[in-house]
Structure 1
Amino acid sequence: MNIDNNDILIRLRYALDIKNTEMVEIFKLGGMDLSKEEVLKVLTKSMEEEELDIDVENDGHIPCDDEMFESFLNGFITFKRGRQEPKPGQSEKPSLTYEHVNNLLLKKVKIALSLTSEDLIEILESADVHISKGELGAIFRREGHKNYRVCGDRYARNFLKGLAIKYRG
C-alpha cells in the first residue's frame, strides 16, 4: 500500500497533536492560504473508486500534491523554529525541491523538531525499525549523490508511528 501526501499529513498531525487552527497557520507560513474548511478537506483520506469498487461522488476531498506538501513542511519549520532572516543573495522564500516525498518528510521534520540523527534512529527503533547511521545519512543526501537512497514508505510510516509514540505516549 502506497502512502500518499494526505495520509502523511493526517499521520503527522496526529503524531504531533497539531490543532486545526495550527494547521491553517502552518500552511500560511509555507505560502499556501487555506481556510480551516479546506484544511479539513486535505485531512481526509482519498477514496479511490478502484479501491471501493463503487461510484463515488465528489466528497470534497482536496488532494495534497507535492508542492502543497512541501509548502506545509516549510511552514512547519517556520512554525516550530521561527522565521529565519535570509542570508545575502538568498531568496526570502525557500525554493521547492520536489525530491522524493518520504526523504523530504524526514529531512524537514528533523529540522523543525531539532532532532539529531540519534533521535531519528531512536524514533524508528520505537516502531521496531532498525537503521544504521550510514543508512540514515544516505536518506539525507541530495538526490543525485552517489550514496543517495530513497526513503521507502515503510520507513516513512514507521517514522510517523515512532513520532506518535514519542510525542503522544
Structure 2
Amino acid sequence: MTHNDVLRRLRFTLNINNEAIIELCEKGGRTVSEQVLDQYLKREDDEDYVECSAKDCEAFLDGVILWKRGPRDGDAPKKKLKFDNNMILRKLRIAFELRDTDMLKVLDLADMPISKSELSAFFRNEKHRNYMEVQSQLLRRFMVGLDKYLRQ
C-alpha cells in the first residue's frame, strides 16, 4: 500500500479537506504545500502524480494522533528509522485509541478476520521470533474496516 493511498483513504474516512491535511502535517512536523498535496492525492495514472514521501505520510499520521489524542505527556518518543506498514498500523491504533478487540472487529468488518495472536505479532519488535510484517492487503482491508467502524 502506498503512502498516497493512506492519505487518500484517511482523508475520506475522516471527512477532511486539503487544508486540514496540511494543518495535520504541520502538527506532525512537516510543511506540505497545497500544490504538492494535490499531486499526492492524484491517481497513479495521472501525469501530475507524485509519490508521497514516508516523512510526509508519517507527519500526517503524527498530526492525526495529536488531533485525536492531544499532545503526549513527558518526553517525545524517539523516531523509528523504518516507516513501514507495521508503523502505519501502530499509528492508526494509537490515533483512534483502538484496543485489540477493536482492531479485530475492524478487520472483521472488512471481511479479513485474524486471530489475536496474529494481531499481536504485528506489534512485536522486529527481532522477536514471532514478529510478522503487515502486508499491504491487510493494511488496505484494515483501513476499509476502520471507515466502517468509525461510521457506525
- Asked if Structure 1 and Structure 2 have the same fold, meaning a TM-score greater than 0.5 normalized by the shorter chain, the answer is yes
2:72 aligned residue: 84
RMSD: 1.9
Asked if structure 2 preserves the Cα contact closer than 8 Å seen for 1:7 and 1:45, the reply is no
For the residue of structure 2 that corresponds to 1:98, the secondary structure is coil
How far off is 1:168 after superposition? 3.5
Q: Distance in 2 between matches of 1:132 and 1:31?
A: 35
Q: Distance in 2 between matches of 1:155 and 1:17?
A: 22
1:112 aligned partner, one-letter code = A
How far off is 1:133 after superposition? 0.7
Change over 3 Å in CA distance of 1:138–1:114 after alignment to 2: same
1:1-169 to 2 correspondences below 5 Å? 3-47=1-45, 57=47, 59=48, 61-87=49-75, 92=76, 94-99=78-83, 101-168=84-151
Q: Distance in 1 between matches of 2:28 and 2:62?
A: 5
Q: Distance in 1 between matches of 2:103 and 2:15?
A: 19
1:119 aligned partner, one-letter code = D
TM-score where L is the length of structure 1: 0.81
Q: Which has the higher contact order (CA 8 A, sep 6+)?
A: 1
Q: Distance in 2 between matches of 1:25 and 1:136?
A: 31
**Structure 2 gap ranges (5+):** none
1:133 aligned partner, one-letter code = K
TM-score where L is the length of structure 2: 0.89
Q: Distance in 1 between matches of 2:15 and 2:149?
A: 12
Q: Distance in 1 between matches of 2:77 and 2:109?
A: 35
For the residue of structure 2 that corresponds to 1:63, the secondary structure is coil
How far off is 1:156 after superposition? 0.6
Greater CA deviation, 34-43 or 137-146? Answer: 34-43
Deviation per CA, 1:35-82, whole angstroms, max 9, x where unpaired? 2332222112222xxxxxxxx75x1x3311222222221221112111
**Structure 1 gap ranges (5+):** 48-55
How far off is 1:16 after superposition? 2.4
How far off is 1:118 after superposition? 0.5
